[in-house]
Structure 1
Amino acid sequence: MFFHILKPIWKRKFKNLLLSLEILLAFCVVFGLALMSARYFQLYHLPTGFEYQDVWSIRMLSTGPLDAKNDSIVTENFQRSLAALPEVEQVGFINYSPYSNSTWRSDLYLPDSQFRYSVNMAEMADETPALLKMKLLDGRWFSAEDEGRPERAIMINKKLADSMFPGKSAVGQLVTDTEPDSKKVKLLRITGVVEDFRNKGEFMAPTNFSIMRFSKTTGAKRMEVVLIKVKPGTSRAFEEKLNQQLKLIRSDWGYRISPLVDMRKSKMTEDTIPLMILAVIAVFLLIMVGFGLFGVLWQNTTQRIPEIGLRRAVGASSGHIYQQIVSEQLLLSSIAMLAGMVILIQLPLTGVLGDAINWTVFITATVISMAVIYVISTLCSLYPAWRASRLSPTEALHYE
């Protein structure tokens, strides 16, 4: 049966070549859309490592470079004044807010190794992890007991811990953010391992992450962001009262107040724009491919009327004719998609895009894109196949 269907396709191979290329292009575009959607779906269901509900971000906009230095008295005033508000449950400091586009990248080394671990970093005060309800997997949070120690306290995520210390606990280990052969090696002591901290939200790819402790008393540079945990149900009307309280502390600074719920919504919209653009392109391309397939199949069945009439004359039923036309189109689509798969399967095999294209995402995208192309091919062939199957042998054999 397979070779019986393949034979007429091969005889019209030059006519089918452009149609196959059109199907191949459509398959690649749909595959790209399905691949991105599957990866977004996968990332969305991974833990971000923190909770955003009822958390507000306050960005402190200073007036000059001197304000970049940490003033322990001012920092403590912010802590006490904001915590005194009845709507506020917790206050914490961080160098940049979750769901912002900020990125701080650095390298970590083991003291006795030149191997470099590229990491994303953040700096937090002692209260911030609890405020964000971060999940501790091993060790402890940094706290006041780390004040004055020769090694600065640091926490790392599980991905980095598994990479740097495979098969053993990372808690208590020493690392450095300067090259081991440097004259001034700054040692950092790992106090705990957290689940993760994907600061850019649900669509951020997992990465090595480390969190340094910020000391409100000895820190050289102040934190630019205050995070506050407000009571559930607090409305945006609280923003005016909060701004007045902030002005009492530093009236010469500006303040940008944003609930993390709103920042998350904006970030997710921003991250999905490429997906929406590709979806629009894919829809228009599929419409064009659909019209093209329908037109070519109509023309092909018209040209094959004598052949169809001969088959009907020797005993083929209308159902057999219908099945043949649809099967030929599905086989042609399969050949075009098989050619595309030979190229696309190189992506997970070579690992050129890393974890962005893992086998789970690749297989999901393949199944979805093949299903879409098969559905379009089937729909476009139904009417031409029905029209061909309705021809009587006498009418077909007299066709010129």
Structure 2
Amino acid sequence: MLKHLFKLIWNKRKQNFLFLSEILVSFLVIFAVFSFLTYYYQNYTKPLGFEYERVWAINYDNGQFPKNKDSLQTLYSTLSNSLKAMPQIEEVCYASGNFPYASSTMSTAVKQNGKKFDRVNFYTVSEDYKKVWNVTMLAGRWFEPEDAVSKDKSIVINETLKTAIFGEGSAVGKLIGDFEDKHKMKVIGVVQDIKTAGDYWPAGNAMFNRLDTGYLKDTRNILIKVSPDADATFESQLYKFMTSTFKNSTIEIEHLSEMRDSKNKVTIIPMVIFMIIAGFLIINVALGLFGVLWYNINKRKGEIGLRRAIGASGNSVSYQLVLEALILATLSLVVGCFFAVQFPLLSVFDVPSSVYLIAMVLAVIFIYLLVFACALYPGKQAASIHPAVALHEE
């Protein structure tokens, strides 16, 4: 049976070329869609690693700040104490501009045993950063005041960077080099991964530095954790307090919950648009496949009538036409899988191989279902052809 089908397909290779091309293009488009969806879904299912619901970010700039480091430190210490004294504020910390869901990013590289690890997100934070976000320590500890006078610079790394550098071994107490490997940094703790770019993106490699007096002159962000009863009235009071503290400064208060929604929309909206475009393409391809199969049946009425006349059942005729379509789909999928498998082999876009493999399997299943659905009705129509009518028309 299969040998006969392959012979029929080969004899009509020119007519089947369009069918094969449509299946190949459809597979590649569906593979791309499922790759995105699988990648985003895998990231979405991972925990955030922090709490953002009642965190506000206060941004300020263009203000007149003291030039002296001691005066600047006194200013920020007084400001922190004043904010903590407000009943609606539970925790306060200072941070660099690349805090979670912010548009700013900072990255560097670290070295360990001659191996370089690129694209490490580094965050400069004060000691209360952990309390504001309620991050989870997996090993070691968070920053403490005595870290300011330690011999080697103290850092905290996330789980992803720890696994990349030390594997399953312990990282606490180990030394790693900076991007030029001139200075050593001591790992004092490992935190759970924090997805700072949104729910649909991985945490990536991350490293936290303790904010010291030298960085205060560049600090323009205060993160506060407010109580559940903090409302618009308190936000207005807070704004007035900040404008009176920082003269001639532009003050902006942002809610992290709103920033998270905006960050996720940036990811979701293009994906939805891409899926809509892909959906229209698949509909057109399905109509094209249906039309090609219908045309082939009309062209093969004589062949179908002859098979029915010599005793072939309607089900066997329908089965043959559906199987032909599935074999043609298989030939296209073999070519498509050859191109698709290059993505995990070459580590394209630095995406885990499992994403491409899952997307490939889903795309293959989808194409088979699409072809089967498009071939089923024409196959049933072919089964209903009466042999006498078909032979008479011939």
Q: 1:268: Cα distance to partner?
A: 0.8
Q: 1:164: Cα distance to partner?
A: 3.0
* Alignment partner, residue 225 of structure 1: 221
**1:109 match: secondary structure:** strand
* Alignment partner, residue 177 of structure 1: 178
* Alignment partner, residue 191 of structure 1: 188
Q: 1:167: Cα distance to partner?
A: 5.4
Q: 1:93: Cα distance to partner?
A: 1.2
* Alignment partner, residue 374 of structure 1: 368
Alignment check: 8 A CA contact 1:301 1:384 kept? yes
- Residues of 2 paired with 1:333 and 1:164: CA distance? 45
* Alignment partner, residue 81 of structure 1: 82
Alignment check: 8 A CA contact 1:153 1:213 kept? yes
Q: Is 2:309 aligned against 1:313?
A: yes
Q: 1:219: Cα distance to partner?
A: 3.8
Alignment check: 8 A CA contact 1:74 1:249 kept? no
**2:105 match: secondary structure:** coil
- Residues of 2 paired with 1:80 and 1:247: CA distance? 17
Q: Is 2:281 aligned against 1:285?
A: yes
Q: 1:25: Cα distance to partner?
A: 0.3
* Alignment partner, residue 353 of structure 2: 358
Q: Select the structure that is richer in helix.
A: 2
* Alignment partner, residue 13 of structure 1: 13
Alignment check: 8 A CA contact 1:114 1:179 kept? no
Cα gap change, 1:178/1:294 in structure 2, threshold over 3 Å: closer, same or farther? closer
Unaligned runs of 5+ in 2: none
Deviates more, 1:310-319 or 1:142-151: 142-151
Q: Is 2:24 aligned against 1:27?
A: no
- Residues of 2 paired with 1:225 and 1:339: CA distance? 53
**Count of aligned positions:** 391
* Alignment partner, residue 106 of structure 2: 104
* Alignment partner, residue 393 of structure 2: 399
Summarize the alignment of residues 33-48 of structure 1 with structure 2, pairs less than 5 Å apart. Answer: 33-48=33-48
* Alignment partner, residue 200 of structure 2: 203
Q: 1:307: Cα distance to partner?
A: 0.5
Cα gap change, 1:156/1:396 in structure 2, threshold over 3 Å: closer, same or farther? same
Q: 1:293: Cα distance to partner?
A: 0.7
1:78-116 Cα deviation digits (max 9, x unpaired): 312221222211111110221123211112235xx5433
**2:385 match: secondary structure:** coil
Q: Is 2:62 aligned against 1:62?
A: yes
Summarize the alignment of residues 135-284 of structure 1 with structure 2, pairs less than 5 Å apart. Answer: 135-166=136-167, 168-177=169-178, 179-180=180-181, 185-215=182-212, 217=213, 219-232=215-228, 234-284=230-280
- Residues of 2 paired with 1:390 and 1:312: CA distance? 10
Q: 1:43: Cα distance to partner?
A: 0.9
- Residues of 1 paired with 2:226 and 2:289: CA distance? 58
Q: 1:37: Cα distance to partner?
A: 0.3
**1:107 match: secondary structure:** strand
- Residues of 2 paired with 1:22 and 1:366: CA distance? 17
- Residues of 2 paired with 1:68 and 1:54: CA distance? 34
Cα gap change, 1:168/1:321 in structure 2, threshold over 3 Å: closer, same or farther? closer
- Residues of 1 paired with 2:227 and 2:322: CA distance? 62
Cα gap change, 1:382/1:263 in structure 2, threshold over 3 Å: closer, same or farther? same
Alignment check: 8 A CA contact 2:305 2:387 kept? yes
- Residues of 2 paired with 1:261 and 1:206: CA distance? 18
* Alignment partner, residue 115 of structure 1: 115
- Residues of 2 paired with 1:332 and 1:203: CA distance? 37
- Which letter does structure 2 place at the counterpart of 1:98? P
Unaligned runs of 5+ in 1: none
- Which letter does structure 1 place at the counterpart of 2:224? I
TM-score by length of 2: 0.92
- Residues of 1 paired with 2:55 and 2:243: CA distance? 20
Cα gap change, 1:67/1:121 in structure 2, threshold over 3 Å: closer, same or farther? farther
- Residues of 1 paired with 2:214 and 2:34: CA distance? 50
- Residues of 2 paired with 1:357 and 1:331: CA distance? 31
- Residues of 2 paired with 1:321 and 1:353: CA distance? 46
- Residues of 2 paired with 1:64 and 1:117: CA distance? 39
Alignment check: 8 A CA contact 1:333 1:377 kept? yes
Cα gap change, 1:291/1:345 in structure 2, threshold over 3 Å: closer, same or farther? same
Deviates more, 1:199-208 or 1:60-69: 60-69
Alignment check: 8 A CA contact 2:43 2:202 kept? yes
**1:369 match: secondary structure:** helix
Alignment check: 8 A CA contact 1:57 1:228 kept? yes
- Residues of 2 paired with 1:312 and 1:66: CA distance? 96
Cα gap change, 1:314/1:47 in structure 2, threshold over 3 Å: closer, same or farther? same
